[in-house]
Amino acid sequence: MDLKGKSALITGASRGIGAAAARRFATAGAEVMLLARSKNEIGALADDIRAEGGSAVARSCDVADYDDVAAAVAAAEAEFGAVDILINNAGVIEPIAMMDVVDPAAWGKLIDINLKGVFHGMRAAMPVMRRQGGGTILTVSSGAAHNALEGWSAYCASKAGAAMLTASADKEGRPHGIRAMGLSPGTVATEMQREIKSSGVNPVSQLDWSAHIPPEWPAEALLWMCGPDADGFVGQEISLRDESIRRRVGLIA
């Protein structure tokens, strides 16, 4: 898929799905802006992408801070001339704890990142996309948006809320050419899964590492979602557990 002349902002781009997406979108020709709190990590990744012939800039950004996100979107518009794609990927799993003992401050901090961070990205990008006649907003979701798991009350609630934000963005943005979709990738071999494994809480922590897909798979799916073959899924959440989706993306024969 050719994304030459297109720009993409990716939150949580320092590792895992975000880093894999940054590399994949750059190889597809997009100008990418990497957003994360860890400036050194995204700076090194941007250097790698440029060394491989891609176009990438890194910007420190805390998605829990709306002003930070709005400034990043404005910088991308100034840098690239447009904001064509926003990937809301930043997210955390901690605190993993039962509701009767979980630290309320930690619970609220997760909501600030996983839920409010998604809203902040949409709020900052949608006016720009509306002015330019359209754009694509992709949010990394989870099966936890639809199925409660013990110890994950904050994570499940945040992902369920983010799914509703995607539906709301579709209702409000589709008339203006904005394509909003969610991607539920299943379990992915990232640092988050190591945190889950070490917690020993709920069935997900008991999965063998071989059960997890590589982060390059959801990165490929996100790229596919930017193209016309995914138009029939606008406003919906796509599950990468679905073999028919994996086939359409080109991950399996």
- Residue among 72, 43, 68 at smallest CA distance from 58: 43
Q: What is the pLDDT of residue 1?
A: 84
Phi, psi of 184 (to 5 degrees): -100, 105
- Rounded Cα distance between 178 and 132, Å, is 10
- Catalytic residue annotation: 155
pLDDT tens string for the chain (253 positions)?
A: 899 999 999 999 999 999 999 999 999 999 999 999 999 999 999 999 999 999 999 999 999 999 999 999 999 999 999 999 999 999 999 999 999 999 999 999 999 999 999 999 999 999 999 999 999 999 999 999 999 999 999 999 999 999 999 999 999 999 999 999 999 999 999 999 999 999 999 999 999 999 999 999 999 999 999 999 999 999 999 999 999 999 999 999 8
- Rounded Cα distance between 212 and 187, Å, is 5
Helix H segments across the chain?
16-27, 39-51, 66-80, 104-114, 116-132, 153-173, 191-199, 216-225, 243-249
Q: What is the CA radius of gyration of the chain?
A: 17
Tokens of residue 147, six digits: 């199925």
Q: What is the pTM of this model?
A: 0.95
Tokens of residue 29, six digits: 């020709």
Q: Set out the domains of the chain in order of their start, with CATH numbers.
A: 7-249 (3.40.50.720)
